[in-house]
Amino acid sequence: MKTNPKKKPHISVSPTQMRTEPIPDYGDHMTVEHFGAACDSNSFIDYDGSGYYASHSEMFPEFPAVPSEVTKKTYTPSRHFTHIVWFSK
């Protein structure tokens, strides 16, 4: 079985094993789909700020959301990551 060396593996970790933080008021909270579409249209690029995968109620600060990885489809997020919190510079 061949694997794509550029594609990062799907992370299979339960939410109870992940460190979480409350979503701050100053970040932009959006769905993964919305973030992906914004990255595809270059609304978000790696140098604009930083983002983290999240759920509807909490953020996972150990899992950065990187626009270039989203547009190149090199990372498959865990099914627990339904949202992104983006912090513009």
Distance CA 50, CA 1 (A): 35
Q: Cβ(52)–Cβ(82) under 8 Å?
A: no
8 A C-beta contact, residue 58 and residue 18? no
Q: Would you place residue 1 in the very low, low, confident or very high pLDDT band (cuts 50, 70, 90)? A: very low
Q: Of the candidates 58, 41, 48, 40, which has an alpha carbon nearest to the alpha carbon of residue 86? A: 48
Domain boundaries, the chain: 19-88
Residues 11-37: pLDDT tens digits?
A: 555 556 788 999 999 999 999 999 999
Query: Region 24-53: what's the mean pLDDT?
Result: 95
